[in-house]
Amino acid sequence: MSAQKSLMGRFRESDFLYDFKRSPVTVVSFVIVVMLILLAVFADLVAPTNPFDAGSLNLMNGFTPPMQPNAFTGETFYLGTDDQGRDLLSAIIFGLRVSLFVGLTAVILAMVLGVSLGLIAGYRGGWVDSLIMRAADIQVTFPSILIAMLIFGIARGLLPPHMRDELAITVLIIAIGLSEWVPFARTVRGTTMVEKEKEYVQAARLIGLGSGQIMLRHILPNVLSPVLVIATITLALAIIAEATLSFLGVGAPPTEPSLGTLIRIGQDFLFSGEWWILLFPAATLLALALSVNLLGDWLRDILNPRLK
């Protein structure tokens, strides 16, 4: 009880909070990210309609401009509707949920993979290190979106047709996760190589602890702070990658549209004057990716003592 209080007290007096409050850009970014995450989590409660419920859609509502009553049904939509008569605001909220879910899980996958490989490469050294790091080198030569598309393509080729849509999201997560592990592995490998020479690791080896235990219990906690920064920046990248893949039509299926899918749909109608179908999802994506990125930048500056 008292320990928790002192933790809160320490947080209130910390440099972290002080620096945070001093940077208005960061505060705004943080508020935007938190709002968007809350919207995504409580999409069912917040969204005016459920865009996935095909029965509630009225084709007559199609192409309603924002804040104007529909010519046939008289219904008004805050952000207008798309070609199917789907309420754009609801579609964006639910799309946000897909985008954030895919982004977050992909980053977690990339992080687990990258941190584990980085730890092993740095701790083992020798040919294991060479093998893992050369694989990383080869991977960064290709743009990550290309790798994600490759993985996506292979998975779709291997899966039976009826499972493709069901597993599209999973495949998307794996594709993005596998294409973003390299920065984690490189950073963790470097820090691990420094940490493993320190005497506390020798002391742990001395009492006969195995490499696995030393890596997990001793080295891992000491290499995690740069990982936090990379995870934040990678989250922005993953969200954009997801949107790009969905925009290209190889990502989230139309039955479960993400922001990228909505942008693709909107793009079809941009030149026929229905600008809102493209603009609002694109603006949401921009706000999300930019805010996450700015948060990541700030975190990187804060956690790097040399920049202070």
Residues making contact with other proteins (CB under 8 A)? 198-200, 202-209, 218, 221-222
Integer Cα distance of 304 and 308 in angstroms: 7
Q: Which is nearer to other proteins, 224 or 302 (CB)?
A: 224
Nearer to other proteins, 1 or 59 (CB): 1
Separation between Cα atoms, residue 82 and residue 88, nearest integer Å = 6
- Report the DSSP beta bridge partners of residue 87: 81
Smallest gap from residue 304 Cβ to other proteins (A): 17
Report the distance separating Cα 230 and Cα 188, nearest Å. Answer: 11
What gap in Å lies between CA 289 and CA 92, rounded to an integer? 15
Q: Nearer to other proteins by C-beta: 209 or 290?
A: 209
Provide, rounded to whole angstroms, the least separation between the CB of residue 217 and other proteins.
9
Q: Which is nearer to other proteins, 220 or 270 (CB)?
A: 220
Comparing CB distances to other proteins, the nearer of 208 and 273 is 208
Q: Six-digit token pair at 267?
A: 């793009």
One-letter amino acid for residue 206 of the chain: L
Measured distance CA(308)–CA(306) in Å, rounded: 6
CB of 303 to other proteins, least distance (A): 15
To other proteins, the closest distance from the beta carbon of 196 in angstroms equals 11
CB 252 within 8 A of CB 98: yes
**DSSP state at residue 64:** P
**Residue 47 or 214 having the CB closest to other proteins:** 214
Closest separation in Å from C-beta 204 to other proteins:
7
Token pair 């009553």 is found at 69
Number of other CB atoms surrounding residue 2 within 10 Å: 6
Angstrom distance (rounded) from CA 25 to CA 164: 41
Give the three-state DSSP class for 81: strand
- Residue 53 C-beta: closest distance to other proteins, Å: 49
